[in-house]
Structure 1
Amino acid sequence: MTKRLRTLQLLIYLFLFFGFLNLAFLGKPIDPTAGVFFGVITAIIAVTSWVLKKYYPMGDRLIFLLAAMLCSIGIIMLFRLDRDTAVKQLGWLVIGIVMFLFVVLYLKKGLVKYAKYRYVFLAGTILFMAMATFIGVEILGAKNWVRIGTTYGFQPSEFGKIFLILYLSTALSHITSRKQLIEPGIVIIVALGFMVLQKDLGTALIIFAVAVTMVYLATSKKLYVLISLGLFSGGGLASYAVFGHIRRRFMIWLNPWDYVYNESYQLVQSMYAIAMGGLFGRGLGMGHPGYVAVNESDFIFSVICEEMGLLMGLAVLILHFLLFYRSIRSAIHAENNFTKLLTAGLSVMIATQALVIVGGVTGFIPLTGITLPFVSYGGTSLLISFLALSIIQKVSEGDEGDTQDG
């Protein structure tokens, strides 16, 4: 395993080197900033890998390297798109890595001791899920952002997802009767309700996937999954009937070419970009990402495919799949129900988010405005992704202190 880890780490360094070398020569004169980016990112990866190897050799270090590769792909593309955006993302990456290491190093006695804070997690869930409903601003049809002054903003639902998974992990860890499912069921419905009111379809899909997975893992009852699917379908139909924004999303998805000059412009340009890239791409700097809207976040997968090719797009999906596999593997080997459910929920959250946004920009499902984990620009998204990763990394170490009944 150590040899494989070294090989993957070397491949990441080579990818970063040739990527930023290419970007440096795109500038006239040669852009030295590309070299600074290469140095900072390789140093971050090297230091983090060394810390994990020295202090936690039994943990699954492949989890971090897979995320590092995804971050590398994303930041190279962001550097190509807009220098200032790339600088901000690099800053968020540094903060995310520091937070990742802090959680991994600080939680020396494991995570199970936090299972007693059930109602703290419940309060956090309601607070962050509801926040944008009352004080949020509408962007691209969804009211899921909260502004801080005139410059900064964040998506409260990103934090709400983490609190919801923490809450469900505590509430479902000792399920022995149907009555015990009433409270978590109500909390899930309330969270989904706020996402519908905010017209945040992507987050609603993620919450549903996470909740159904965790309920099934806690109960092993297929009936609950079927009931959840029925309720979600009913809620979806009601939302479709009530909200014009949701009807437009489905209209665009079903007939994108009929509305190519207005409502479906973003989706059609996204599909054009993917098609123009072919298997191997047009080359960094050779595409036309300016035609793709919100290309630094929601549609970054499209511009990656245009300039780096469908093969790189497939690589992004494979990396997310491998990250999900290694994370679920950690959940399977967790020593108690709380950490098992927590790790599984976080793993499904990351995987579902990747599938939903890639499915949206390629036209397989209705388009939703969420980010591609570890790849898209976005401070909130990147920090939450690394927070989830730090918890998964901690569970993979297998040293969780006192255990509960499993």
Structure 2
Amino acid sequence: MKKSIRTLQFFIYLFVFIGFLNLALLKSPIDTLAGVFFLVIFLIIWLTTWVLKKYYPMGDRLIFLLAISLCSIGLIMLFRLNKSIATKQLIWLVLGIFLFLFIVLYLKKGLIKFSKYRYPFLAATIIFMSMATFFGVEILGAKNWVKIGPIGFQPSEFGKIFLILYLSTALSDIRSRKQLLEPCAVIGVALGFMVIQRDLGTALIIFAIAVTMVYLSTSKIQYVLISLGLFSAGGLASYAMFSHIRRRVMIWWNPWLYVYNESYQVVQSMYAIAMGGFFGRGLGMGNPEYVAVNESDFIFSVICEEMGLLMGFAILILHFLLFYRSIRSAIHAENNFTKLLTSGLSVMIATQTLVIVGGVTGFIPLTGITLPFVSHGGTSLLISFLALGIIQKVSEGDESEGQ
């Protein structure tokens, strides 16, 4: 295992070096900022792996390396698209790493102590899930952003974390159907706010999290079937009530019919992926300007155009391996609270990946969410590293301390 970790770490360094060297040589004179990016990422990887190895050698260090591999791919592409955005993303990455290390280093007694904060987690869930409904601004058809001066964020990103924390406390000791009423009501309220905000992507993620956690806590397949039925009914109701959702479904069903207006983004995304072929057109050689929102929602498409489907598959494989290592940590958790918490966070990241990749490739209706660890987005990156820190803590096997 130690040898495989060192090998993976070396290849990450090599990939980042080649990527930013390529970007530096594209400019005349040579772009020295690319060298600064490489050095910062190198130091992030070296310092974080050193801390994990020195203080928590029993933890799963592959979790961090898989995530930073995805971040490196995203930063290379963001630097190629827009240096200003890439610089902001690098700053958010540094903040995310500090948050990750803070959780790993300072939760001395494990996570079980948080299982007693059920109702504070419930209150925080409702506050963050509802915030955009009352104070949000509409962007690209969805009212899911809140802006305070120059700063904008998606409250539902924080709401998902608090929902998982709440469900982990509420479902960790389920003994009767009656005990399911409260958590199911909270899930329904959270989904209701997402419908009102027309945030289809987050609704899908919340549903996947909820179904997974309810099934893990009860082992009853009928609850999954009931949930699917209720979600389908809610989806049909949303389709009937909101023109924004009807338009998304219409675009997905036949994008070529609306290629010059409503489905322009999706069609350009599919063209970009097709133009890249298996090996890509070369970093800096594509036309990402034809793809809308290419730094966030459609970054997967422009990566495939310039780095090829090979890199697209690599991103999916890295996310799959990250999910596998995270779920592996959940399986070895020593109590129901941390088992459910780690499972919920793992499903959150995996579902978000599947939803956005499925949307930009035309497999499912498009939803405006970010690709975890890859897309530009400070809130998303911080939440992803917060989740990763908790998963890392569980992998250390210390979660039973303090019981």
Q: What is the TM-score with the length of structure 1 in the denominator?
A: 0.99
Distance in 2 between the 1:204 and 1:263 partners?
22
2:252 maps to 253
Asked if 2 retains the 8 angstrom alpha-carbon contact of 1:335 and 1:403, the reply is: no
Asked if 1 retains the 8 angstrom alpha-carbon contact of 2:335 and 2:400, the reply is: no
Q: What SS class does the counterpart of residue 309 from structure 1 fall into?
A: helix
1:161 maps to 160
Letter matched to residue 164 of structure 2:
I
Asked if 2 retains the 8 angstrom alpha-carbon contact of 1:336 and 1:403, the reply is: no
Q: What SS class does the counterpart of residue 339 from structure 2 fall into?
A: helix
1:268 maps to 267
Once the two structures are aligned, what percentage of the paired residues are identical?
Answer: 82
Q: CA RMSD in A?
A: 0.7
2:118 maps to 118
Asked if 1 retains the 8 angstrom alpha-carbon contact of 2:212 and 2:344, the reply is: yes
Asked if 1 retains the 8 angstrom alpha-carbon contact of 2:349 and 2:384, the reply is: yes
State how 1:104-183 maps to structure 2 within 5 Å.
104-149=104-149, 151-183=150-182
2:96 maps to 96
Asked if 2 retains the 8 angstrom alpha-carbon contact of 1:158 and 1:384, the reply is: yes
Compute the displacement of 1:402 (Å).
4.0
**For residues 336-380 of structure 1, what are the alpha-carbon distances to aligned partners after superposition, in whole Å with 9 as ceiling and x for unaligned?**
000000000000000000000000000000000000000000000
- After TM superposition, where is structure 1 displaced by more than 3 Å over at least 4 residues in a row? 401-404
Asked if 1 retains the 8 angstrom alpha-carbon contact of 2:100 and 2:388, the reply is: yes
**For residues 110-142 of structure 1, what are the alpha-carbon distances to aligned partners after superposition, in whole Å with 9 as ceiling and x for unaligned?**
000000000000001000000000000000000
Compute the displacement of 1:28 (Å).
1.3
Q: What SS class does the counterpart of residue 93 from structure 2 fall into?
A: helix
Letter matched to residue 386 of structure 1:
F
Compute the displacement of 1:23 (Å).
0.1
Q: What SS class does the counterpart of residue 28 from structure 2 fall into?
A: coil
Letter matched to residue 157 of structure 1:
S
Change in Cα spacing, 1:50 to 1:402, as seen in structure 2 (3 Å) is closer
Asked if 1 retains the 8 angstrom alpha-carbon contact of 2:330 and 2:394, the reply is: yes
Compute the displacement of 1:208 (Å).
0.1
Distance in 2 between the 1:19 and 1:402 partners?
43
Compute the displacement of 1:335 (Å).
0.5
Letter matched to residue 79 of structure 1:
F
Q: Which runs of 5+ in 1 are unaligned?
A: none
Distance in 2 between the 1:287 and 1:152 partners?
32
1:4 maps to 4
Q: What SS class does the counterpart of residue 7 from structure 2 fall into?
A: helix
Q: What SS class does the counterpart of residue 350 from structure 2 fall into?
A: helix
Distance in 2 between the 1:280 and 1:106 partners?
44
Compute the displacement of 1:204 (Å).
0.2
Letter matched to residue 296 of structure 2:
S
Compute the displacement of 1:403 (Å).
7.2
Distance in 2 between the 1:229 and 1:364 partners?
19
Distance in 2 between the 1:286 and 1:178 partners?
58
Count of aligned pairs between the two proteins: 403
Asked if 2 retains the 8 angstrom alpha-carbon contact of 1:145 and 1:156, the reply is: yes
Asked if 2 retains the 8 angstrom alpha-carbon contact of 1:139 and 1:145, the reply is: yes
Asked if 1 retains the 8 angstrom alpha-carbon contact of 2:334 and 2:400, the reply is: no
**For residues 139-169 of structure 1, what are the alpha-carbon distances to aligned partners after superposition, in whole Å with 9 as ceiling and x for unaligned?**
00000000011x2200000000000000000
Compute the displacement of 1:401 (Å).
3.4
1:65 aligns with 2:65: yes
Distance in 1 between the 2:91 and 2:334 partners?
35
1:293 aligns with 2:292: yes
1:226 maps to 225
2:24 maps to 24
Q: What SS class does the counterpart of residue 286 from structure 2 fall into?
A: coil
Distance in 1 between the 2:230 and 2:256 partners?
32
State how 1:15-54 maps to structure 2 within 5 Å.
15-54=15-54
Distance in 2 between the 1:202 and 1:317 partners?
18
Compute the displacement of 1:331 (Å).
0.2
State how 1:360-371 maps to structure 2 within 5 Å.
360-371=359-370
Q: Which runs of 5+ in 2 are unaligned?
A: none
